[in-house]
Amino acid sequence: MTLAADLATIRALMRRALNEILRVPGAAIPGVLAPTIFFLGLTAVFGNLTLLPGFTTESYQSFLIPVSLMQGAGFTGAATGVNLARDIEQGWFDRLVASPAPRPVLLAGLVASASFRSLIPAAMLLIVGFSLGAHWPGPGGLAIALLITMGMAIVAAAWGTTIALKFKTQSASPLMQAGMLLLILTTTAYAPLELLTGWLQEVARYNPVTQIVDAARQGFVGSVTWGETWPGLLALAGLAALLLALALRGMRRIAD
Amino acid sequence: MTGGFVTNARVVAALGRRATRQTFRRPQLMAPILIFPTLLLAIQVGGAGRAVDLPQFPEVNGFLDFMIAGAMVQATMLAGNSGGIALALDIEMGFTDRLLAAPISRFAIVLGRLVGTAALGAVTAIWFLAIALIFGAHIEGGVGGALLIVLLVTLCAIAFGSIGAAIALRSGSASVVQGLFPLVFVILFLSTAFFPGNLLLEPARSVAEWNPLSFIVDGVRDLVISTFSGTQFAEGIAALALLGAAGLGMSAAAMRGRVRRGG
Amino acid sequence: MPAIETRDLQRVFSGDVVAVAGVNLRIERGEIYAFLGPNGAGKTTMVRMLTTLLRPTGGSASVAGHDVVAEAGEVRRAIGVALQEAALDPLMTGRELILLQATLHGLPGAEGRARAERLLARVGLTNAADRRVGTYSGGMRRRLDLASALVHEPHILFLDEPTTGLDPVSRKAIWEEVEKMNREGTTVFLTTQYLEEADNLADRVGIIDDGRIVAEGTPESLKAEIGRPHLEVVLGDGAMERAQEILGRFGKPLPAKDGAALVELEGGASGVAPVVRALDEAGLVVESLELVQPSLDDVFVAKTGYHLEGSGDETAVPEASSN
């Protein structure tokens, strides 16, 4: 297939994914609201952790907001997986798979929309966060945070797609969400590395997603430097590559 | 009461057995109720554990000791939600109609379901007590305290089960009950489930002061982190009684409405 | 080069379920070939293997000269597919669906749009094209599915139970469309559980049961193989066993159908009178009596031992073939 044809396919699949939100708006609301609700809850409950000596900021909102952004990306990506599982169950997916569109193009079409859709819960989160006193990260910090959000949405969509292709049922959706949640929370999500305790400190030390969280967090808690940014972007790229490869493998194996 | 006491008791027992079998025969449904709060517990203990160093933090053996009560209550809320979903599915598939057409008390239908949820509650308590002991927490209340914990948590499951049943009866739809599941988190955030009341920020702090969940969690927590306090225990029981009464009242009303509308 | 060819094609699912147990096919270009069989016979599994949606677990298959496993991409380019589940998105409009199909096949914008309009007009959906598919009737959905399968002008069309669940008028409309496509040169492979469909549409029929082809040929040759007409007798007071015993003296008994006793008549029409006399002498009240020429159902019964359609009471008949 020519490049033009491939791009047209990706655009068409993205349009279809967007249609879901426009045509059944109620379905999107939980995914959009949930990150903000969790953000409000967690900051109210654990906000005073900033009193601990060694905490890198006095505003827990600023500290937590990048984590909530990534959680939003996680929910968005999981929704992609759930929609795919439904499409498989209802036979729609056969239409895509029986067509000559190359498998990587189909995958790109499925996950690309997630990255744009993740900006919706992100926008809500940022509005609420700033109004509660989260620090303004500056244009550079904000750009990095949003870039990472969109990247995590692709990671989550790839994970959701892999699960959907493997189990072919919507009831696997908890697995899609839990996987991402676990990945994001076993990091410096709740507190800086030195203040984590026990097993979590060890896991967070080696979890590549910690780099991603720290990179997204920079502008909100301090200044943005290239030294803090590149490890996060590298980890994100690596994670995305790994999960996209897994999803592609699943797509090629769907006829087994 | 329609049907006489003995008949209804038998019906409740039979429905209870069915509910219990449903729960335990499908571990993939039971697992999220236990696994999810356990994972969250592990992450929160690891992430916020240093809070015990804060001067305002109550005297505890460890952060796990503090948190375990919240995890238990969270699990019972999920169990209640799951019982509600099961009841809603029964309604959707017409099984409840069969029961309503029989000469038995309406309440037997709800009570039978609650027996299953209570069993799940007891399992929850034992699971988390085991986790607590394995990972180094101390149950200051001793063996007696542990037994009281099992009792409280079981009653908790029944209370939330009755609320879940009320929602199921009112809506008749499993997806509505399922959709309310995120509410569990919101309500818990606004209580002392995860952090001491004096360290919460507004608005959680004010809401937590009168949130019945705070009293319930504190009742269980007291048995873990200190010796038995009659007041805390009584407050916990009272809060549970309040929730249970509300749940059963709503269930009765919803049941009446359902019967009047013809299902 | 045949349009479709399979060699000992097999598909086993986990749990040792053998859905397709070694099928050999050779379908020439321009044919309409029908796979006829009951539910669970393996028809859908065959179609899914030939359309690259399912990998064979044994044997081989080639479509349009390309192997379905090694050259799946080329196969997909050459075929049009309309599956049993009518894989449609209820939230899309008919036009959006055909346009998406055109995009999936790499048709450039303007040409894709032109073809979409032509096809929508051809199946009579131009007026409904901007309504959501969720509002379409069953017949409309099938027509849309068929139209979208044609958007890239494939040489070979696969139809899995194209008229199941449709009313007679819609069914006829689909048949006319399929015949028209075939006249234009498209090879058609279809599966069906309807005798009439196979009889009317197909150049050749493969009767499939339990994952195997039990008979293959043109409808005429298959029926000629069976050859003999049979008598259908409906009795007034339901004296089935007695009637079957009497009938058994005049020819080979066949499985009962819809409350009627059946017997194959060796001598054809001349054998009717003795049967009537015998039933009359036995004092049995005959409500109706019909001499039926052989049909594909008879072929099916001869090969499998049971009816494909309308077997009401499964009254066992001695000496009926039982494999």
Write down the ipTM of this complex.
0.85
In this structure, are strands C286-292 and C230-235 parallel, antiparallel, or unpaired?
A: antiparallel
Mean pLDDT for the stretch of residues A194-218 = 94
* Cβ–Cβ < 8 Å for A67, A189: yes
* Cβ–Cβ < 8 Å for C164, C57: no
Is A100 within 8 Å of C85 when comparing Cβ atoms?
A: no
User: Best interface-test mutation with A: which of C104, C141, C160 has the largest number of A CBs within 10 A?
Assistant: C104
Q: Is the pLDDT of residue C211 over 80?
A: yes
* A60-89 and A173-185 helices, crossing angle to 10°: 160
> Does residue B99 sit in helix, strand or coil?
helix
Distance of CA B149 to the CA centre of its chain: 13
Please tell me the predicted confidence (pLDDT) of residue C317.
39
For C164, counting Cβ atoms within 10 Å of its Cβ (0-12 exposed, 13-18 middle, 19+ buried), the class is middle
| Closest C-alpha to A55, from A221, A228, A224, A227 | A221
Token pair for residue A198? 């026990």
Q: Which CATH superfamily is domain C4-217 in?
A: P-loop containing nucleotide triphosphate hydrolases (3.40.50.300)
Nearest to A98 among C76, C89, C100 (CB): C76
Q: Where are the domains of chain A?
A: 3-255
- In chain B, residues with a C-beta closer than 8 Å to the C-beta of A203 are 46
Nearest to A95 among C87, C99, C108 (CB): C87
Q: Which residue of C has its CA nearest to A14?
A: C100
Token pair for residue B43? 């992450």
Residues found in chain B:
263
Give the gap in angstroms from C-alpha B70 to the nearest C-alpha of chain A: 13
In whole angstroms, give the CA distance from residue A43 to residue A134: 11
Q: Which residues pair with C167 in a beta bridge?
A: none
Contacts of A231 (CB under 8 A, 6+ apart): A211, A214, A215
Contacts of A31 (CB under 8 A, 6+ apart): A72, A75, A76, A79, A121
DSSP secondary-structure letter at A102?
Answer: -
Nearest to A52 among B39, B53, B204 (CB): B53
Provide the terminal-to-terminal Cα distance of chain C, rounded to the nearest Å. 35
* Cβ–Cβ < 8 Å for A75, A155: no
In whole angstroms, give the CA distance from residue C245 to residue C318: 10
Q: Please identify which residue in the block is written with the tokens 């009242």.
A: B249
Contacts of C201 (CB under 8 A, 6+ apart): C32, C34, C175, C178, C179, C188, C190
Contacts of A195 (CB under 8 A, 6+ apart): A49, A52, A54, A55, B50
Distance of CA C143 to the CA centre of its chain: 18
Phi, psi of C57 (to 5 degrees): -100, -5
Is B43 within 8 Å of A42 when comparing Cβ atoms?
A: no
- In chain C, residues with a C-beta closer than 8 Å to the C-beta of A84 are none
Region at C294 (left for phi over 0; alpha for psi -120 to 50; beta for the rest):
beta
Mean pLDDT for the stretch of residues C56-65 = 95
In whole angstroms, give the CA distance from residue A183 to residue B97: 45
Q: Where are the domains of chain B?
A: 5-261
Cβ–Cβ contact A83 with C under 8 A: no
In whole angstroms, give the CA distance from residue C307 to residue C256: 9
Is B195 within 8 Å of A37 when comparing Cβ atoms?
A: no
* Cβ–Cβ < 8 Å for B76, B157: yes
Confidence at C238, pLDDT banded by 50, 70, 90: low
Residue type, A95: R
Strands (E), C14-105: 17-27, 32-36, 58-63, 66-67, 79-82
Nearest to A100 among C54, C76, C85 (CB): C76
Least confident of A161-170, C16-25, C127-136, C312-321: C312-321
- In chain B, residues with a C-beta closer than 8 Å to the C-beta of A48 are 51, 54, 56, 195, 199-201
| Closest C-alpha to C5, from C18, C23, C30 | C23
Please tell me the predicted confidence (pLDDT) of residue B262.
67
Is A45 within 8 Å of B204 when comparing Cβ atoms?
A: yes
Give C119-138 as a DSSP string: HHHHTT-TTTTTSBGGGS-H
| Cis peptide bond prior to B203, omega within 30° of 0 | yes
In whole angstroms, give the CA distance from residue C163 to residue C84: 9
Region at C153 (left for phi over 0; alpha for psi -120 to 50; beta for the rest):
left
CA distances from A63 to A12, A110, A133, A135, A220 (A): 38, 32, 11, 9, 7
* Cβ–Cβ < 8 Å for C79, A100: no
Answer with the residue of higher pLDDT: B73 or B184.
B73
Please tell me the predicted confidence (pLDDT) of residue C291.
83
- In chain A, residues with a C-beta closer than 8 Å to the C-beta of C105 are 99-101
Answer with the residue of higher pLDDT: A140 or C297.
A140
- Tell me what the pLDDT averaged over chain C comes to: 87
Please tell me the predicted confidence (pLDDT) of residue C310.
54
In whole angstroms, give the CA distance from residue A178 to residue A174: 6
For A178, counting Cβ atoms within 10 Å of its Cβ (0-12 exposed, 13-18 middle, 19+ buried), the class is middle
Nearest to C104 among A92, A99, A255 (CB): A99
* pLDDT tens column, B224-239: 998 888 898 999 999 9
- In chain C, residues with a C-beta closer than 8 Å to the C-beta of A99 are 76, 101, 104-105
In whole angstroms, give the CA distance from residue A255 to residue B111: 48
Please tell me the predicted confidence (pLDDT) of residue A134.
92
Please tell me the predicted confidence (pLDDT) of residue C320.
35
Phi, psi of C240 (to 5 degrees): -65, -50
Q: Is the pLDDT of residue C318 over 50?
A: no
Answer with the residue of higher pLDDT: B45 or C323.
B45
- Maximum Cα–Cα distance across chain A: 60
- Tell me what the pLDDT averaged over chain B comes to: 89
Token pair for residue C225? 């193989």
Q: Where are the domains of chain C?
A: 4-217, 227-304
User: Best interface-test mutation with C: which of A11, A99, A253, A256 has the largest number of C CBs within 10 A?
Assistant: A99
Least confident of B44-53, B247-256, C79-88, C132-141: C79-88
* Cβ–Cβ < 8 Å for A130, A54: no
In whole angstroms, give the CA distance from residue A43 to residue A129: 10
Mean pLDDT for the stretch of residues C158-175 = 91
Give A188-244 as a DSSP string: TTSS-GGG--HHHHHHHHH-HHHHHHHHHHHHHHS---HHHHHHHHHHHHHHHHHHH
User: Best interface-test mutation with A: which of C63, C100, C142, C160 has the largest number of A CBs within 10 A?
Assistant: C100
Give the gap in angstroms from C-alpha A122 to the nearest C-alpha of chain B: 19
Please tell me the predicted confidence (pLDDT) of residue A143.
95
What would be the CATH architecture of the domain defined by C227-304?
A: 2-Layer Sandwich (3.30)
Distance of CA C304 to the CA centre of its chain: 16
Q: Which residues pair with B11 in a beta bridge?
A: none
* H or E segment and range at residue C8: strand C4-13
In whole angstroms, give the CA distance from residue B113 to residue B12: 8
Mean pLDDT for the stretch of residues B106-126 = 91
Q: Is the pLDDT of residue A110 over 80?
A: yes
CA distances from A102 to A5, B218, C45, C71 (A): 10, 58, 23, 12
Cβ–Cβ contact A97 with C under 8 A: yes
Q: How many CB atoms lie within 10 A of CB B58?
A: 13
Please tell me the predicted confidence (pLDDT) of residue B97.
84
Burial call A97-119: b when 16+ CB within 10 Å, e when fewer: bbbbbebebbbbbbbbbbbebbb
* Cβ–Cβ < 8 Å for A137, A161: no
Confidence at C257, pLDDT banded by 50, 70, 90: confident
In whole angstroms, give the CA distance from residue A15 to residue B6: 62
Q: What is the CA radius of gyration of chain A?
A: 19
Q: Please identify which residue in the block is written with the tokens 């192997």.
A: C67
Give the gap in angstroms from C-alpha A208 to the nearest C-alpha of chain B: 17
3-state helix, strand, coil in chain C (%, to 5): 35, 25, 35
Confidence at B1, pLDDT banded by 50, 70, 90: low
In whole angstroms, give the CA distance from residue B75 to residue B35: 9
Residues found in chain C:
323
Chains C and B in direct contact, meaning 3 or more beta-carbon pairs closer than 8 angstroms: no
Q: Which residue of A has its CA nearest to C49?
A: A255
* pLDDT tens column, A10-52: 999 998 888 877 767 776 777 788 899 999 999 999 999 999 9
Neighbours of chain A (3+ CB pairs under 8 A): B, C
* pLDDT tens column, C260-296: 888 887 766 777 888 888 888 888 888 888 888 788 8
Confidence at B108, pLDDT banded by 50, 70, 90: confident
Cβ–Cβ contact C121 with A under 8 A: no
Is B50 within 8 Å of A201 when comparing Cβ atoms?
A: no
- In chain C, residues with a C-beta closer than 8 Å to the C-beta of A252 are none
DSSP secondary-structure letter at C93?
Answer: B
3-state helix, strand, coil in chain B (%, to 5): 80, 0, 20
Mean pLDDT for the stretch of residues A109-137 = 93
Q: Which residues pair with C62 in a beta bridge?
A: C5, C67
Distance of CA C207 to the CA centre of its chain: 9
Give the number of beta-carbon pairs within 8 Å between A and B: 91
Q: Is the pLDDT of residue C32 over 90?
A: yes
In whole angstroms, give the CA distance from residue B209 to residue C167: 66
Q: Which residues pair with C261 in a beta bridge?
A: C233
Please tell me the predicted confidence (pLDDT) of residue C86.
64
